[in-house]
Amino acid sequence: MRHVAFLMVIAAAAVGCDRNQARLAQALAESRAAEAQKDSLLTEILETTQFVSDLNSELAKAKAVSASQESSDPGMPGAQKDREERQETLQRIQQVIARLNESEAKLTATENRIKNAKIRNARLLAQISTYKQTIDDLKTAAEQQRAEQEAIIADQRTQIASLSGQIDELNVQTASLRDTVGHLTRYKNRVYYAIGTKDELIRNGVVTKEGSKFLIFGGTRLEPARKPNLEAFTMIDKTQTLSIPLPRTDKKYRIVSRQSPEYLGGDLTEKGEVRGVLEITSPEEFWSASKYLILVQK
């Protein structure tokens, strides 16, 4: 009987030992899982630390670009370029905000896993709380930068529209002035000539006889009419027409008007009479005396 009782005690002890080993194995497995989860969370924290550092750098770059744009004076021609650069800065800030939102969501998920773990890690939770606050601060700064850039871009859009209107108006004025200058230039370069015999020129109202003659005393001379008949003249551009063909190559022609023969070339006699073609070597000087050239056939 005692032998049977002893065997029963040994059997009970063996069963208890097996249960303790099973519990110990389960506790060891849970400990290893918790350690692995802790290592995973620490890795995520380190990645988040680097991520926040990168975001700080990105935001600093955006601020630096904004400050550079504020200090520069692009002038009217550079207004569009400055607006494009600010658009790029705004896109960079928006990308930063998107990455901050992603990081915040990742931290929240990590925080929830730690809270739901069997073994809570207060130090990791504190780190996550700190990083979440840092991200909130970065988001506030980035949102402020975005609002400032959007306000500046909107103001620049108004300025560019105003400048475009001014440029259009200036273009219209410039075109009008160019047209006016063209008309004035053509008017300034417009000159006239008339060629013929004495009788033809008198009959056409181009020249008139001046002076008087009685017997062998006195004399008359040809002078340009005080109000010349413009229909008897040919109009030319003094900068374009430098050669005027004469009606008859076998006759000489004398200048009756005030132009000086010294600015002529070609077949020119000592008396300043021309033959064949009237060659003008210095048009400005030649036409400065009068806009009306009159040549009478000898």
pLDDT, tens digit (0-9, with 9 covering 90-100), for 133-180: 877 887 787 788 788 877 877 777 777 777 778 778 888 888 888 888
Looking up tokens 């925080």, which residue turns up?
111
Q: What pLDDT, on a 0 to 100 scale, did the predictor assign at position 241? A: 94
Between CA 59 and CA 66, with CA 62 as vertex, the angle to 5 degrees is 140
Q: What pLDDT, on a 0 to 100 scale, did the predictor assign at position 74? A: 52
Rounded Cα distance between 75 and 57, Å, is 30
Ranges of residues in the chain whose predicted pLDDT is under 50: 4, 6-7, 9, 11, 13-15, 215, 217-218
Q: What pLDDT, on a 0 to 100 scale, did the predictor assign at position 218? A: 45
Rounded Cα distance between 266 and 15, Å, is 141
Tokens (6 digits) for 20: 């303790």
Between CA 248 and CA 258, with CA 253 as vertex, the angle to 5 degrees is 140
Rounded Cα distance between 12 and 43, Å, is 47
Q: What pLDDT, on a 0 to 100 scale, did the predictor assign at position 48? A: 60
Helices (H) and strands (E) in the chain, counts: 5, 10
Cross-strand partners of 279:
243, 265
Residue 263 DSSP one-character state: G
